[in-house]
Amino acid sequence: MNGEDEKETLARVQAAVEAAIGQELLDIGEDYPLLERGVITSLDIVMITAALEEAFQIEIPDSSISMSNFHSLNSLAALVTARTSNMGEVGFSEKKANIILLSLGGALRRPVLFVLLLSAWFLGIDTVVGLSINGPLAPYLADFNENGMRLFPAVGGPHSIDDFQAAIRTHEISRAGDNDGFRVAFFGDSGTIGSYVRAREAIPAQAEIELKKKFKNAKCYNLAFYQTSFVKDAMILEAALKANGGKPPFDIAVITMNEFYFHPRHSRRIVEVMPVFGFNEPLFRSFIKRIGQEENGDYRRLLDSLSTTRDNNYWPLEPWFAQRLNLYKSGPRLRFLFKRHLLVHDMPLSDKFEYGMTTTGNRKLMEDNIIDPVPGYSSHDNYLSREDLNDNISYKLLEDIVSFLEGHGVRTLAYVKPLAPAPWKGKYDLGPYTSPDIVADIAQRHPLEMVDARFAIKGSQFTDSFQHYSAEGNRVIGRMIADKLSQMMSEEK
């Protein structure tokens, strides 16, 4: 140890120990039992080890970290002497590592410093993730929402982003601006989004193909999201408004609906079981304020339900962090990247992903020769009575959305989605009040057009249920909607 005598070594050992534990060792002899008398603890051993390694430029292996070696200042001095004579100076990289360990040890004894260091480390990683997602990883993630053609991947599930505002920012409508053609925004559920088919095969894209035959600059935007509820439509509309300075970034809105949307029990249950609705409660609150209905009792009760859903599914500050941290926001994209490009099994992952997404989309729910309703394919939520619409929040929300859009020069088209195969028309129990009745009622007060596609497609054009349609079924529906949109556009010209 470069000729240092025993007393000087003891003094340096004591100084290192005092620095590590943050207190002076007054009136403690060289053989005083440090561990037995509680002067140092097991946690202190880690910090003392780092301090001694730094002070004497040595390396203390794990095998030397024992109760006997840390018994007293004398035993520590003997340990240092032994390690110095055996090793000599350590390299720069080891010294640097010891400094980091010492800093960490000191931080552990100072909680505020520890939290600050941990936060800085975490934010650094979060920043790197954000830069990577928007930088070198961007080409690999382009297919996440098919270059912005959808808010979410068609398979949904773990790949959906909770934050509608974040989803809007990556959607092509955020790049819409003003153009010379007609901009059409499609709001809807999993059928409209095009579950289990590619975005170019979904209803909005199919409608755009037909529209472009007559209106070259027409553009259709797919703003659909899962579940039959106007609540998420209002949330997504508000997110689009916020991204466009408060103005609708489209000229015509297509709003998907059927009897499910208005059934009181169904509409209440959707709010309760969809965590993402609770997450985006601030968007709904903002929209209600925008339309001047923040004091309305029905909306206040709905907001309370959304808040309960949020509280039941998220930690108190989780939504706040989720909207700001790249690690949280990018989670679905990173899972998509891992599944799409990194997993290697018995077939290339790209093929596995395509297989998983499109197998259901190519399925036939039933053959076309089934011309009578099949037991089990009907739902009591299809049945509406006039009484069901008394104080019906879904009815009110739809009319308020239509009224708001009307005030901004946006026309609205109600698309009544498929309900059952075409041969079942007239044989299906719909109840005394239907979606077309609701549209006709609202149309007496606001401009509202309609496309009735309840029995527009065949049994083979449904896939896993009456909620999802094949690419062929989407083409049929897309043409119907495009024909009506063409009529509306021609009237405007």
Single-letter amino acid, residue 398: L
Distance of CA 24 to the CA centre of its chain: 52
β-partners of residue 93 are none
Task: Give the pLDDT score at 178.
Answer: 63
Return the CATH number of the domain spanning residue range 142-492: 3.40.50.1110
pLDDT in tens, 163-174: 899 889 889 998
pLDDT in tens, 318-361: 888 877 888 877 777 777 777 666 654 444 444 445 545 567 78
Could you tell me the fold of the domain covering 6-109? 1.10.1200
Task: Give the pLDDT score at 428.
Answer: 77
Single-letter amino acid, residue 229: S
β-partners of residue 252 are 184, 411
pLDDT in tens, 168-216: 988 999 887 666 678 999 999 999 999 889 899 999 999 999 999 999 9
Residue reference for tokens 């000191």: 106
**Picking from 90-104, 121-135, 454-468, which range would have the lowest pLDDT averaged per residue?**
90-104
Q: In what order do the strands lie in the sheet with 183-187?
A: 219-222, 183-187, 252-257, 411-416, 448-452
Beta strand segments in 280-423, E = 411-416
d(CA 35, CA 108): 19
CATH 1.10.1200.10 positions along the chain are 6-109
Residues in contact with 178: Cβ distance below 8 Å, sequence separation at least 6, in sequence order: none
Please say whether the beta carbons of 249 and 211 come within 8 A: no
Q: DSSP string spanning 256-279? A: EE-HHHH-HHHHHHHHHH-HHHHH
pTM for this one? 0.74
Residues in contact with 353: Cβ distance below 8 Å, sequence separation at least 6, in sequence order: 339, 340
d(CA 229, CA 257): 8
CATH 3.40.50.1110 positions along the chain are 142-492
